Structure 1
Amino acid sequence: MDQILVTGMSGVGKSSVLSELSRRGHRTIDTDYGPWVRADGAWDEPRMASLLSAASPVVVAGTVENQGRFYDRFAAVILLSAPVDVLLHRLSTRTNNPYGKSERDQADVRRYARDIEPLLRRGATLELDACRPIGELADEIEKLAIPHGSGSAR
C-alpha cells in the first residue's frame, strides 16, 4: 500500500511538503483545494474512498474531522508538528491564504493545537518536527513511507 497521509495544524507546512514531493515526481493531493472537502469541512467520503481504493501511490495532505475513518487505508499517517508560535508566525506572513491573520483565527489555532493536535498525534504512525527544512521533511517521507521508484508525475 503506497497511500500516505500528511496531517497537522494550519501553518505547519503540509502544502509546502506536498509541493516538494510533487516536484520530485510523486503524485500528491492537497485536500484543502478542489472537490475533496464538503461544505461542512469533512472529506467527501465516497470521493476519498475511490481515491484510496486505486492501486496508484499518492500522498494526501489534510486535516479534517473524518480523516480517522480512512487511517486503515494509508500505509502511514504522518503528523507534522511545530510550536504554536511558529504556526502563528507562518500563518501571519503567508500570502497564499488569508486564514490565520485575524485574532479570532489565531485564537482558534491555539485551541486546535491544544485540543486537536493530541488527537492527531494518537492516530499518527510517525511525527516529524516541521521546524526542519521542507526538503528534509520530504526526504524523511520518501525514506519511511514511499517505496523507491513508485512516484509518478502529478
Structure 2
Amino acid sequence: MSSYLITGDSGSGKTSVIWELEKRGYTAYNTDDLPVTRLENELGQPVDWPPPPVDWSKYGWNWQEKDLREILDSDETVFVGALASNQDRFFSWFTKIFVLLVDTETLRHRILSRTDHDFGKDPQELQNILERHAQLQEELLAAPGAMAIDAQRSLDSVVRDIISAIELG
C-alpha cells in the first residue's frame, strides 16, 4: 500500500497529527517512540542521550533501515511522523512527503508549552532550533514529492488537508 511521511521541525505538530490520524483509524507511527530511530555517534553506533543542548554535529537521530522497512511493509496506508537525521536516504520509500510549516513564534510557543517531552526547552537548544528553522523548512520542501501543509491552523484542518491529498492521489 502507500506510505506517507509527515515531517517538519521539532514543534511543528508531527506528533499531534500522528495521534489524530490514529484516532481516525489510520495506521500511523511516531518513529521517535519506536526502536526504528536511535541516537548514534559519528560512527553510526548507538549512544545514550547527552545532556542538552545536543551537538548535532556529533550525533544523528537516525532511522534503522530494516526496522523502517518493517513498519512500511503493510497492506494498509501507513503514515510516519518524523524528523530523522538520515530521512533523506528514505524519501523514495514514501508516496508523498507532507511538510508541516509554522512560523518561528508558533514553533517557540509549541516547544516551550509541550508536555510529552523536553527536547528543545533548553535555552541553547531552542535557539539552535529557531536559528535553523527557515533553512530546514526549505530543505524539507525540496524533497521529491514534498507538499507544504500550513500547520498553524487547527489540527482538524491540517489532518483534513493530508487526508484529502492522499484521496486525490
TM-score (norm 2): 0.81
5+ residue gaps, structure 2, are 41-60
- How large is the Cα RMSD of the aligned pairs? 1.5
Count of residues in correspondence between the two structures: 147
SS at 1:109's partner residue? Answer: helix
State the 1:2 CA deviation. Answer: 1.6
Contact 1:2–1:145 (CA under 8 A) maintained in structure 2: no
SS at 1:98's partner residue? Answer: coil
Cα distance per residue 1:54-88 (max 9 Å; x no partner) = 33321000011211122112111000010011101
Larger strand share, 1 or 2: 2
State the 1:34 CA deviation. Answer: 1.9
Contact 2:5–2:97 (CA under 8 A) maintained in structure 1: yes
Q: What residue number does 2:52 align with?
A: none
Q: What residue number does 1:150 align with?
A: none
Contact 1:2–1:146 (CA under 8 A) maintained in structure 2: no
Q: What residue number does 1:144 align with?
A: 165
Q: What residue number does 1:5 align with?
A: 5
Write the mapping of 1:1-154 to structure 2, written as runs, cut at 5 A: 1-40=1-40, 41-123=61-143, 125-146=146-167
5+ residue gaps, structure 1, are 148-154
Query: What is the distance in 2 between the residues matched to 1:145 and 1:71?
Result: 16
Cα distance per residue 1:85-124 (max 9 Å; x no partner) = 1101111111111112221121111133133221111115
Query: What is the distance in 2 between the residues matched to 1:137 and 1:51?
Result: 23
State the 1:146 CA deviation. Answer: 4.8
Query: What is the distance in 2 between the residues matched to 1:88 and 1:69?
Result: 28
Greater relative contact order: 1 or 2 (C-alpha under 8 angstroms, separation 6 or more)?
1
